[in-house]
Amino acid sequence: MFKKLLVLLAVIVPVAGFCAPDVKKKKEEPVVHLTDEQIYEELKKLALVFEVARDSFVEEADEKKMLEGAMSGMLGALDPHSSYLSKDDFKDFNDKSHGEFGGLGIQITSDRGAVRVIAPIDDTPAAHAGIKAGDYITHIDDEQVFDLTLNQATQKMKGRPGTKVKLKVISDGEEPRDITLKRAIIKVKSVKFEDKTLADDDSENPAKIGYIRISDFGATTTKELKEAIDALEKKDVIGYVLDVRNNPGGYLTAAIEVSDAFLDGGEIVSTRGKEKNDIDRAYATPGDLTGGKPVVVLINHGSASASEIVAGALQDNGRALIMGSQSFGKGSVQQQKPLGDGTAIHITIARYYTPSGHSIQNEGITPDIEVLQSKIEVLEKKESLYSEASFKNSLKNDAAKKKADKKDKDKDGDADQELTDAEKDAMDYQLQRAMDMVRALDKIQRRAVAAPADPNMPVGTETQSLPQTDIRAEKSDTDKKQK
């Protein structure tokens, strides 16, 4: 038994040491590597601990559980995202990656012994219950999570669809609350889209803005995105809002392909592993599917990993304005390494960097224009009490009267209805500001195209569109006003 255990550990330890950079270590505390002899002595000690614990524990010991716990602890000591995957865990992971799985619809990580929410997935029990990015889960069915590994906590939250689980959730600045959720089959449709108009745009032909919501980056995301852009282009939208708020991430390849859809060239992301020369770079291919139309990307504290890759790529290439709040800051890449018996290691193999060489780890993406989610109180009436229309016997505008009558009729008909999608959109402050920005950028581009050429400009250098760098250069003044 002792020899078999040493062989098992000797196989696992080199894999962990080679693949995972220590993302938590500080420069002032360099790693002290053990010699082969010292490693062998430590493994002998571990085997001795196993033997003593198995023989001395007050109840009958579960050897498999003990060994899996040792492997989980070994990988968990590297960083919050590395872990050992049992057969069931590995199967569940693959099920999630293909768009359907059972549970609550919540992406979590380990944080100082507690379970922290990265983001809830759209249209799932967790999202409907009001669980938010940054919330902490301290108890599952009245059991503390502090003694559980991340995989164990995940397993406790999963279960047969229709059954219930009780969570104690702590939100920033609020009292702990108990939430009971009903488990469900989580079917993830990664991309939703529609053409939208600004809430306050009551013109005859309001500008259509393409709204694309990506809730996670899975195996079908790229295909769904291309279908969305194709459909919106047929509706002659003037630009796009790409919404990746509360998107916890997913496949690196999906993030690269999504970025490529909006770019005509340039670097998208680089991944850098343990060795100095272990660098991979991904580049965009020719062909911007939107034809260069304005793009605004919405991010928030729940935008993590693959979401940050997309935002960083479009920001650094000057292709889009990033609006919202600081993103989550997960700048590491994980990979599954099967061990040959149905189990696997989920391990951090690299950090990723934006095209400008910026590491997102623990920092996130800083929006070009910070727009915090807010509620708006209108202080000025849309129609002034003093205007031409306020004069006695002023000439009437027949078209305006018909429009007002129609608005009153529509208002009466909707009096007893629930909020419509358009009314919900109007309450989403970040979305409204993003759409406002798309409309502004579209106007700037159209004016640049229509402007007469400068007679002093050499032939062939006329401006066809406003360079993205010029748009970005105006950001600071707008930002100050916003703040």
346: part of which helix (H) or strand (E)? Answer: strand 344-353
Q: Enumerate the active-site residues.
A: 305, 316, 330
pLDDT at 267: 98
Task: Average the pLDDT over 313-331 and give the result.
Answer: 96
Using CB atoms within 10 Å of the CB of residue 371, give its burial: 0 to 12 exposed, 13 to 18 middle, 19+ buried: buried
3-state SS assignment for residue 402:
helix
Does position 266 have pLDDT exceeding 50, yes or no?
yes
Q: Which tens digit of pLDDT belongs to each residue from 81-95? A: 898 988 888 877 776
Written as six digits, the tokens of 204 are: 């005859």
Rg (CA), the chain: 27
Q: Are strands 106-111 and 114-120 parallel, antiparallel or unpaired?
A: antiparallel
Q: Which of 172, 253, 241 minimizes the C-alpha distance to 213?
A: 241
Q: Which of 240, 309, 308 minimizes the C-alpha distance to 268?
A: 309
Q: CA-CA distance, 140 to 150, in Å (whole number)?
A: 12
CB 294 within 8 A of CB 319: no
49 to 17, 34, 60: CA distances (angstroms): 22, 20, 16
CB 96 within 8 A of CB 105: no
Q: What domains sit in the chain, N to C, each tagged with a CATH number?
A: 2-78 (no CATH), 100-187 (2.30.42.10), 189-407+419-483 (3.90.226.10)
pTM given for the model: 0.71
pLDDT at 425: 86
Phi, psi of 107, rounded to the nearest 5 degrees: -100, 125
| Beta-ladder partners of 338 | 344
CB 326 within 8 A of CB 270: no
3-state SS assignment for residue 148:
coil
State the chain's mean pLDDT as an integer.
82
Q: CA-CA distance, 135 to 153, in Å (whole number)?
A: 15
Q: Which of 238, 230, 233 minimizes the C-alpha distance to 208?
A: 238
Q: Are strands 164-170 and 136-140 parallel, antiparallel or unpaired?
A: antiparallel
Q: Which tens digit of pLDDT belongs to each residue from 40-64? A: 999 999 999 999 999 999 999 999 9
pLDDT at 27: 53
Written as six digits, the tokens of 309 are: 């890759």
Least reliable range by pLDDT among 38-42, 247-251, 304-308: 247-251
pLDDT at 11: 33
| Beta-ladder partners of 344 | 85, 338
Total number of residues shown for the chain: 483
Q: Which tens digit of pLDDT belongs to each residue from 153-197? A: 888 888 888 899 999 999 988 889 999 999 998 777 799 999 999
Between 252-262 and 221-234, two packed helices, what is the crossing angle to 10 degrees?
Answer: 20
Q: Which tens digit of pLDDT belongs to each residue from 443-468? A: 999 888 876 656 565 544 443 433 34
Across 135-170, b (16+ Cβ under 10 Å) vs e yields: bbbebbeeeebeebbbbebbbbbbeeeeeebebbbb
Task: Average the pLDDT over 254-274 and give the result.
Answer: 96
Q: CA-CA distance, 348 to 12, in Å (whole number)?
A: 15
Does position 96 have pLDDT exceeding 70, yes or no?
no
